[in-house]
Amino acid sequence: MDETFLLMLSNLLHLHSSIDPTNALLSAGGATASSAYTATSPSSPSSLLSSSSAAPILFLTLASLISFFSRSAVNKRKNKKKQSSLSPSPPENAAYSVAAFRALSTDHIWSLEPPLRDAQWRSMYGLSYPVFTTVVEKLKPYITASNLSLPSDYAVAMVLSRLAHGYSAKALAARYSLEPYLISKITNMITRLLATKLYPEIIKIPASRRRLVETTQAFEEITSLPNVCGAIDGTPIKLRRVNSDRNYGNLYKCKYGYDSVLLQVVADHKKVFWDVCVKAPGGEDDGSHFRDSLLCNRLISGDIVWDKVINVRGLPVRPFIVGDWCYPLLSFLMTPFSPNGMGTPAQNLFDGMLMKGRSVVVDAVSLLKGRWKILQNLNVGLSHAPQTIVACCVLHNLCQIAREPEPDPGNWKEPDENGAPARVLESEKQFYYFGESLRQALADDLHQRLSTR
């Protein structure tokens, strides 16, 4: 028996003795007390026994029951505490709490070998741990200034998981035990910072002589064409919904039959984007989207001047980009002679080599959508769609620059191009005619060089 029970029993007996002194003798004197008690009251032995000797038994029984239940409750609490320490049962979303993320990003993540560590991080957030920390370091001052109640790295990780897996705000809210509106607010903030603060640093035209030479030499190895500095392509980004309250008609309906906005990118030989534009609804064609872009305006105005000119059959050829027949032929943008191989042998050879160069940007777009699955079915508001798309392009470049492994796109495949050839505008004719001359000179030179090998 524990001391508490003994003390309680002693107090109960003492209380009863003070009320019934005869029973005190019974409890203290044994048989002598019993015979004395019988001698003094011979007339009613059974009534005396029932009224006097039953009381201490009742007290003893009550005390025992109280002690039993109290000890049982204490033991249950101890066992429950012990079991919880041995095999904790965390709440459903404990794996996504700030504490769990902090443990993963500090203790656990560094106990793994780098390949395993980065593979685990990549599966959750779309990029390796070193690239993740780079993103956090660059965005942390802006996130801190916004007075967000969540840690910067936790907020970035949460948004990256949404971009990488395509989660909706509602689905992500259930995982992280936050309200959907807060998930949307944090997503908008992080993607806006990526699209504005990091864009100028991560997505840059190859203006330096060293980078320009490296790019043109790499494309020449791919295409056998000199002075190619990039490949351009447009792709529709599918929208989950377009606000039905507004009469958009078929403005956002792309040529593949779904609502979308257009993304235009220019990529180098490493599948790194050096220009990104999201300005047109899905119903617009690639040529019109290009004409409205800042890149086209800068090239036409001469704002971009590449310091690398070569002579091909007496014509000065500056660095140019390559695209398919949906883009206009210009002096700085080469397109195929024919989409169906109906040209001369020299022209068909040129077209084949040009399309090999264009395949770089097609692969880059497929990689972009395969790595950031939210772009396969964009589940953000229409007003936030451009910044979300550009943010994914910035993250794509960070991964390519860091030489992140290219993930398997799975079932995703970019649709084959089936647009109509671009028309020639009156204001572009001088660039078009010179572009025709350059293209023919490049085709003839290519045919001559390759046929003599």
CB 322 within 8 A of CB 350: no
Query: What is the pLDDT at residue 108?
Result: 64
Ranking 21-25, 69-73, 123-127, 394-398 by mean pLDDT, the lowest is: 21-25
Question: What single-letter amino acid sits at 226?
Answer: P
Query: What is the pLDDT at residue 231?
Result: 98
Query: What is the pLDDT at residue 13?
Result: 52
pLDDT top residue among 61 and 248:
248
E strand or H helix at 93: none
**359, pLDDT greater than 90:** yes
d(CA 396, CA 265): 12
**278, pLDDT greater than 50:** yes
pLDDT band, residue 402 (cuts 50/70/90): very high
Ranking 90-94, 121-125, 175-179 by mean pLDDT, the lowest is: 90-94
Ranking 46-55, 65-74, 272-281 by mean pLDDT, the lowest is: 46-55
**74, pLDDT greater than 70:** no
pLDDT band, residue 113 (cuts 50/70/90): confident
Per-residue pLDDT reduced to its tens digit, 416-439: 666 678 888 998 999 999 999 999
**9, pLDDT greater than 70:** no
Query: What is the pLDDT at residue 60?
Result: 55
Per-residue pLDDT reduced to its tens digit, 175-203: 888 899 999 999 999 999 999 999 999 99
Query: What is the pLDDT at residue 101?
Result: 74
How would you label 339-362 residue by residue, b for 16+ Cβ within 10 Å and e otherwise?
Answer: beeeeeebbbbbbebbbbbbebbb
Distances (CA, A) of 77 to 70, 72, 73, 89: 11, 9, 6, 16
Neighbours of 298 (CB within 10 A): 14
Question: What single-letter amino acid sits at 235?
Answer: T
Query: What is the pLDDT at residue 42?
Result: 37
Query: What is the pLDDT at residue 37?
Result: 34
Per-residue pLDDT reduced to its tens digit, 135-179: 999 999 999 999 888 899 999 999 999 999 999 999 999 888 889
In percent, the amount of the chain with pLDDT more than 90 equals 57
Query: What is the pLDDT at residue 449?
Result: 92
pLDDT band, residue 285 (cuts 50/70/90): very high
Closest C-alpha among 248, 433, 254 to residue 330: 433
CB 238 within 8 A of CB 370: no
Instruction: State the average pLDDT for the chain.
Output: 81
Query: What is the pLDDT at residue 407?
Result: 80
Chain CA centroid to CA 362, Å: 23
SS3 at position 260: strand
d(CA 139, CA 192): 11
pLDDT top residue among 452 and 19:
452
As beta bridge partners, residue 259 has 253
pLDDT top residue among 336 and 107:
336
Per-residue pLDDT reduced to its tens digit, 294-312: 999 999 988 887 888 999 9
Closest C-alpha among 179, 202, 243 to residue 384: 243
Per DSSP, the residues of 298-345 read HHHHT----S--EEETTEEE--EEE--TTSPPBTTEE--S-TTS-S-H
Mean pLDDT of the region 44-69: 49
Per-residue pLDDT reduced to its tens digit, 403-416: 999 887 665 566 66
Mean pLDDT of the region 23-39: 38
CB 332 within 8 A of CB 242: no
pLDDT band, residue 45 (cuts 50/70/90): very low
d(CA 99, CA 176): 12
Query: What is the pLDDT at residue 158?
Result: 95
**286, pLDDT greater than 70:** yes
Tokens (6 digits) for 276: 């990104």
